[in-house]
Chains A and B, each alone.
Chain A
């Protein structure tokens, strides 16, 4: 029974995907099955989270093999929390009505649940080769969602997404099997033991670096970020909200696991390079956001920029750095997915995704203005919203480690984030509409308000009461961080 629950993050979405394939010819039943599947997933993940609170690690070894040989799923506090956040987001996205777009096609729901299964497996697994397989599952499901739109722009986005991501998975496979050749292990814990004393072994360091580069490609880090802004701007917003939670964050989470659980001996050697990559990611992403005028393009470049913060926290390391990276990931999943969904509402009300063609929404849709302002302020990091605590955790640890240049770049990025969010505010909400519509646009469907309202409330709760979550994440980070870092304050 325990094993079934541990496998639920994969089993539930896979079964839902199969069911939604069977219901492909009945759109309404398919949508209902998809929503029920997402709710069931949320229930299972919440049960896992509840089970993990006391520090209990739920483990399942498939096929009854002994410890290092079996493919294992291991769900500790960090994994359970990330899985729960994913499930919350899945519910929000499937509640959000998608008129047209990939999720409204018969392929949409099965592919979305396939993506959820891949992400669930990647969070739950404790086996490096299994991680590679889940990344491939995520990749093929994401590609399906991209090209389901069938326009030439979607095919083009799919090709750009495919090329860099497939290159990443090929590197991942090479690194994983290279490490297997070196140590004879694939299980995280067993690899951690086998690599414990090899912090200065050049071959181990090289393979570790290859693994990190592969995961950085998945996380959309500089200079591998180009697949992300190339693909995102032509996709429908619910798909974007799903992607923002399920693709890059999984890469960052796997990077944390690899860096501090599989190869902690090598982590100091990578910290410097990873920190600078993170800074370049932050700055490059936000520069793109400041330049562009298309809502989805701005938000896609922001996703890159915010990944930089998460990677910076990962580079700082230790319990505080890992906790900051996890807090930032959760904050970013909730706030950014919400912003994508709000961008969809802005576009449906204003008639276009390009800021130069819309305006005056503050007058015509004040509720939407409030929702946007709240999420934008949270993304920028205005206290007391969730982004403030997320950035504070990163900055506190960075100043503690005397990384002043990195922190200066992080603050600069924050300023530029404010600038680009102010641009959306002024262009979409404040300035008069360049071509005032003759007839008032249709009201937003209740599902859109429900999805955005739920995500806003969660982000707001995270900002107003960050204490319990931060405590929980420090405890969670304690089990990921190497024993050395646990001792030092």
Chain B
């Protein structure tokens, strides 16, 4: 049951992230990518087996835990991924806001300074 709930949340958050990331507003794009990252973080967490909260104890003399315990490796991985994702979300949103400060429309289609469009006569545009 909990597996389906997690699968549904991953799908929902990823869909929301993709929707925002494909919009034309640069701030929405950055937020969308951060959401997509969160969806993947949830997926990473789920890769470590989901089940009851059994203590990870190994009986004396035994080589493996008594019950099916959660795998700690994905928990370590997801911590790394969350930290990295948070840094990129901050950077992306700061970048989008800096762009919006230069051009109040903040429209992805209007970003033409680094890639000037062709001139009216069809010749390639010139980068100043």
Contact = CB atoms under 8 A, between A and B. Distances in A.
Interface of A: 129, 133, 136, 139-140, 143, 147, 152-160, 162-163, 166-167, 170, 173-174, 177-178, 180-181, 184, 186, 229-231, 233-234, 291-294, 296-297, 353-354, 356
Contact of B115 (A139, A233, A353): A233
Given A153-B114, A294-B126, A136 B36 contact: no
B29 A163 contact: yes
A356 B121 CA distance: 15
B74 A177 contact: yes
Interface residues of B, number: 37
Interface string B110-128: 0101110000000110110
Contact of A166 (B26, B33, B73, B77): B33
Nearest to A158: B95
Contacts of A140: 87-88, 91
Contacts of A356: 126
Contact of B114 (A160, A174, A180): A160
Given A158-B95, A170-B40, A174-B43, A231 B124 contact: no
Interface string B94-120: 011011001100000001011100000
Contacts of B36: 167, 170
Interface of B: 21, 26, 29, 33, 36-37, 40, 43-44, 46-48, 71, 73-74, 77, 80-81, 84, 87-88, 91-92, 95-96, 98-99, 102-103, 111, 113-115, 123-124, 126-127
B44 A230 contact: no
A479 B113 CA distance: 46
Given A129-B77, A136-B84, A177-B74, A292 B124 contact: yes
Given A147-B95, A231-B114, A291-B124, A173 B40 contact: yes
B99 A167 contact: no
A356 B96 CA distance: 33
13 contacts: A157-B114, A159-B96, A159-B111, A162-B88, A162-B91, A163-B29, A167-B36, A170-B36, A177-B74, A180-B77, A181-B46, A230-B114, A231-B114
Listed from nearest, the 7 A-B pairs whose CB atoms lie closest are A181-B47, A153-B113, A177-B44, A157-B114, A152-B102, A177-B47, A156-B111
B88 A159 contact: no
A159 B95 contact: yes
Contacts of A229: 115
B84 to A, nearest CB: 5
A133 B95 contact: no
Given A133-B84, A147-B95, A166-B92, A293 B124 contact: yes
Given A133-B80, A136-B84, A167-B21, A234 B29 contact: no
A180 B43 CA distance: 12
B44 to A, nearest CB: 4
Contacts of B92: 159, 162, 166
Contacts of B98: 155
Contacts of B33: 162-163, 166-167, 170
Contacts of A296: 127
Contacts of B46: 181
A297 B127 contact: yes
A221 B5 CA distance: 36
A136 B37 CA distance: 13
Contacts of A231: 114
Contacts of A156: 99, 111, 113-114
Nearest to B73: A180
A230 B33 CA distance: 19
A166 B87 CA distance: 12
Nearest to B32: A163
A162 B95 contact: yes
Contacts of B115: 229-230, 233
